[in-house]
Amino acid sequence: MGIRIEAEVSFPANDEVERVLGMAETVGEPVTVTFAWEGGRPLLHGVLVPAATLALWEHWAPTAYPAGDRAEGPELAHPEEFGPFTFFRRRVGGRTAVARDGVVVAELLDPAEAHWLEEQARNVRQGFMDPKQKAAFEEFLARQAERGEQ
């Protein structure tokens, strides 16, 4: 990940969640976040990935993240609201979609999944040339002298 931002949200009932989500959306980079919920709920560690960044990673990643032994999450509850943002937890896969005004602006992913997706996308993208770049490269190679002619 290009820019590393880490945030800890101690009591998500206030506007800290709104600030972290707004930061991820504004910066356009993943934010590693730890939610320390009130009432003894377990800590939630994740990477908040802006929707456009996630779409780019998933475009280039050749396959989906292997689910492994991840089981379905806890029973669904009502979506949680934090200011203008609403969290929609998915039982399968463990992702949480973050929406504002009915539009998904980010997803909260498991850190391992976020890292895997970013690596897969980078590896595939680095080996790809768009058609104009490929044609220019082939033309460049055609103009190069044969090894024996040098």
Residue-wise pLDDT tens digits, 42-52: 677 788 888 88
Q: Quick check: 98 and 82 in contact, CB under 8 A? A: no
Residue-wise pLDDT tens digits, 90-127: 766 678 888 888 888 888 888 899 999 998 888 888 77
How large a percentage of the chain has pLDDT more than 70?
71
The pTM of the full predicted model, rounded to 2 decimals, is 0.63
Helices (H) and strands (E) in the chain, counts: 4, 7
